[in-house]
Amino acid sequence: MQNSGFSFVHSAFIGAILLLALAAAFALVLPEKQPPGMYENPPSPVQQSDTQADTALPTDTKEETDPGQPEDFAPITATSAQEKYTMATSEVFEESQQGAKPQVSTVQKPPLYNTPPVSFDTVNETILPALVNILCGSTSNSNITGMTGSGIVIDPRGVILTNAHVAQYLLLQNHPSKPVACVVRVGSPAKIQYTAEILAFPQAWAEQHGKDLFLKTPTGTGEHDWALLYITGRTDGSEKPSAYPFVPFDPRYAIVETGDPVLLASYPADFVGSIVIREALWPVSTITRIQKVYTFTQSAIDVLSLGGTIVAQRGSSGGAVLNQWGKLVGLIVTSSVGDTTDDRDLRAITMAHVSNSMQEQTGSDLNALLELGNFPERAKDLKEKSTPLLLELFPL
């Protein structure tokens, strides 16, 4: 979308966008029982390496039986392998409702990095400038409701990582007759700053979930639920920064395990009104531990169970999971249904899954894709060649 369209958004239209976003503060739900194709790994430690080589999980994983149907979504109040899950457009993490903290494995591991860990205060100072709020709303010609979600800048050239179920709205910016208007906001509170376009989007996710666009409670496991955006300009037309604050990521499969402490950060919006979303939506960060790990393949860690936290809200989808070295190791993606954040189980896909899925979908893993550069031309190429085909997968 051209800058002129966003200057319109920047004025009176932004109020309508925010009202619509509140109505749809997007969230995705996992089936009530363990989703087909997702396996729980036992909490035994995984061997780590200080090299960049992947380390596979033990092969003694087991498939959950009776996966159930995604149509059955009765609310739940406890977490288990057979809970239902909603896509997390916003989710935050605190201590569990009992106040107990998960135990850390006492098994000694080789060092993950050649440098010592840093305090989570330092990690928090690193992630907040790189955290973004993605806000979308319908135009006068569109029947699509709005959305608010999160994202993380992972490259100083302006590349944002978020979920496909968030980025699908930016894909719809280019619909010929029913466009959606989106902006990227940053800061505390979130302020409109940038426009963005899709840089990479998984066709596999669109084929499976594009049809769910108008569902009140769409479901998903988190598989292939990633997307890359590229910041194309400022909403006020001024010159873009020469570099953006960003966080480094670690796509190794063996980089996380049960009991690891992590910091979560996002822009949750489940319990606030439209005025707060418009004028005072603040990022939230919190510290927790990984409760369980899951895999789509029985041989790697793809999904992290993070328990009930303050980040377990709509609006947190696309938020960050960082380790003690300040590395992005997960992308917030789903949450179980519950009346309070304590009742929910927040989940994230690992950066290893993101990178591996990206290899499957685009032919390049995350590191290789970023090394290719030439983001303006590649975003333009996707918009002109791939977007029309992807839009056919959405019920518009």
Domain boundary assignment for the chain: 3-391
Segment among 32-41, 137-146, 296-305, 366-375 with least mean pLDDT: 32-41
**Residue 36: pLDDT band with limits 50, 70, 90:** very low
- CATH code for the structural domain at 3-391: 2.40.10.120
Res 19: pLDDT: 44
CA 94/CA 100 separation, integer angstroms: 11
In this predicted model, which residue has the larger pLDDT, 147 or 193? 193
Res 185: pLDDT: 98
**Residue 233: pLDDT band with limits 50, 70, 90:** very high
Closest CA to 378 of 237, 248, 228: 228
**Residue 338: pLDDT band with limits 50, 70, 90:** confident
Is the Cβ–Cβ distance between 169 and 395 less than 8 Å? no
Residue type, 384: E
Q: Is the pLDDT of residue 43 over 80?
A: no
Residues 6+ apart with CB under 8 A from 128: 188, 265, 283, 285
**Residue 28: pLDDT band with limits 50, 70, 90:** low
Average pLDDT value over all residues in the chain: 77
Segment among 14-28, 43-57, 157-171 with least mean pLDDT: 43-57
Res 194: pLDDT: 98
Q: Which residue has the tokens 């990521």?
A: 249
Q: Is the pLDDT of residue 113 over 80?
A: yes
In this predicted model, which residue has the larger pLDDT, 48 or 295? 295
Closest CA to 352 of 364, 362, 366: 366
In this predicted model, which residue has the larger pLDDT, 325 or 10? 325
Average pLDDT score over residue span 351-366: 97
What are the tens digits of pLDDT across the range 136-155?
Answer: 987 767 677 788 999 999 99
Residue type, 214: F
Residues 6+ apart with CB under 8 A from 2: none
Length reported for the chain: 396
User: Per DSSP, what are the bridge partners of residue 321?
Assistant: 264, 330
CA 75/CA 339 separation, integer angstroms: 8
- 18-22, 58-62, 165-169, 272-276: which is most confident: 165-169
Res 21: pLDDT: 46
